[in-house]
Amino acid sequence: MNVLLLSTYELGHQPFGLASPAAFLADAGADVHCLDLAVDAFDEIAIGAAGLIAIYLPMHTATRIASMAVPRIRSINPSAHLCFYGLYAPLNEAYLRTELGGGTILGGEFEGGLVNLYRRLSSNGPAFDAAQSDPLISLAKQEFRLPRRDGLAALSQYAHVDMGQNARRTVGYTEASRGCKHLCRHCPVVPVYDGKFRIVPPQLVIDDIRQQVDAGAEHITFGDPDFFNGIGHAIPVVEALHAEFPELSYDATIKVEHLLKHANHLDTLVRTGCLFVTTAVESVDDRVLDILDKGHTRDDFVQVIKMAARANLTLSPTFIPFLPWSSREGYLDLLRLLVDQGMVDYVAPVQLTIRLLIPEGSRLLDVEEMRQHLGEFDAAALSYQWSHPDPAMDALHAQVSAAAEAGDTKGATRRQIFGEIWRLAHAACGLNPPSLDLPVALDGSDHKPCLSEPWYCCAEPTAKQIAEF
């Protein structure tokens, strides 16, 4: 039986969530095909030939785009068994079953469930509609396989690292661990993994990196929710990476809390080729950070900025500035802090536009500070609606979102877009914006290395993403 693994969007990366299960299914004897609609044409032949179509949902944007793709898929192949898997699959179980016709929903460590489903359908036929036999969420430890990438689009078709001055690096993508030890209330990882995480054997991680280097990768993104969840695992991985590929750079995501706790390893990151670290700051308001249960404070973030600067490590902070508890003055405070700490060039403008998403299963649903602002669940948006007590905040959100998207379309620099957002934020507070006096970097450039597609997993798709699909 033909199996089609389909991805719609994975932050501009070649999807690990296709390559990993493809290896498991191939070992089980399946004829596996992969289709990434982020870069591939809509392959009606592959869709029509599949007895099992499994759609990967690692994030909100991917799920929204998948909801647009499924009707077309169904029109081509109405008899295939439809499976949804990945982080956002169990969070949206009811919608995926009732609205999109999903027969099987798999979250957590999904590879084993996909193999079991393939074997069951191979024995009984795609029309077999017995109740799902595998758990909705599996956290069972599994023996990982080397991801199978030969059926995926070339790395050159995906996002690259923009080094400035027209220099770029081709990017590969892998995972050294899954899940997270922490319980941040807004995070979609938490309802699935509930504070647990799983490591991929270091040699397998290096083997996967090697095959991507052979395919042209000059930089690797580690997709782990927090690369330092297992410091005793992460450091040997990057040491081995650097020993074999001394010219290869990489990036990783690490909590503010862990950057502080493991400050002695910032130099290790730089020495082994880490080009930048993404860290989910979310807010510089301690009350908001407490509600989100982030495990760090405003002062912690400022301290990490200084530590990273001393280590010559580029920090790429992410934020959720628009929440029910934020204010116009608080938003302006965030901008002022970025100016004061010399961080304007380090922040992707989209990070100044993010509005809090509340998916099904979110821990925020249990928080009184959230419930008082909460509306009904919007199935089309796949999130609970909420209203801000200050309508001017919603207006500011619309303004800065438009400014960021317009600036990106025009190819404006981060400084240029920030300047417009700076103006809008002051206007929202009834203030005249003071002139921005931003320092020039020592190399004469304000550009910092960054991925060419700096989107954020817990965000609504842009109008451009929707239109392009």
pLDDT digits (tens, 9 = 90+) for 277-298: 999 999 999 999 999 999 999 9
368 and 416 both lie in a single domain: yes
Terminal CA-to-CA distance of the chain, rounded, Å?
A: 29
250 and 195 both lie in a single domain: yes
98 and 184 both lie in a single domain: no
| Domain stops at, among 110, 138, 166 | 138
Alpha-carbon torsion (101, 31, 22, 467), positive or negative: negative
- Asked if residue 148 belongs to a domain, the reply is no
424 and 363 both lie in a single domain: yes
Q: What ranges make up the beta strands (E) of 381-443?
A: 383-386
Question: 3-state DSSP call for residue 396?
Answer: helix
Is the CB of residue 175 less than 8 Å from the CB of residue 241? no
427-455 core/surface letters (b: 16 or more CB in 10 A; e: else)? ebeeeeeeeeeeeeeeeeebbbbbbebbb
- Asked if residue 99 belongs to a domain, the reply is yes
CA distances from 4 to 73, 81, 103, 133 (A): 11, 10, 15, 20
Domain hosting 180: range is 157-468
Tokens of 337: 């802090």
Asked whether residue 441 carries a pLDDT value surpassing 80, the answer given is: no
175 and 297 both lie in a single domain: yes
pLDDT more than 70, % of the chain? 94
Q: pLDDT tens digits, residue range 240-266? A: 999 999 999 999 999 999 999 999 999
Asked whether residue 454 carries a pLDDT value surpassing 90, the answer given is: no
CATH number for the domain harbouring residue 312: 3.80.30.20
**Number of domains into which the chain is organized:** 2
pTM for the full predicted model: 0.94
pLDDT of residue 379: 86
- Asked if residue 149 belongs to a domain, the reply is no
User: What CA–CA distance (Å, rounded) separates 290 from 461?
Assistant: 27
pLDDT of residue 442: 40
169 and 301 both lie in a single domain: yes
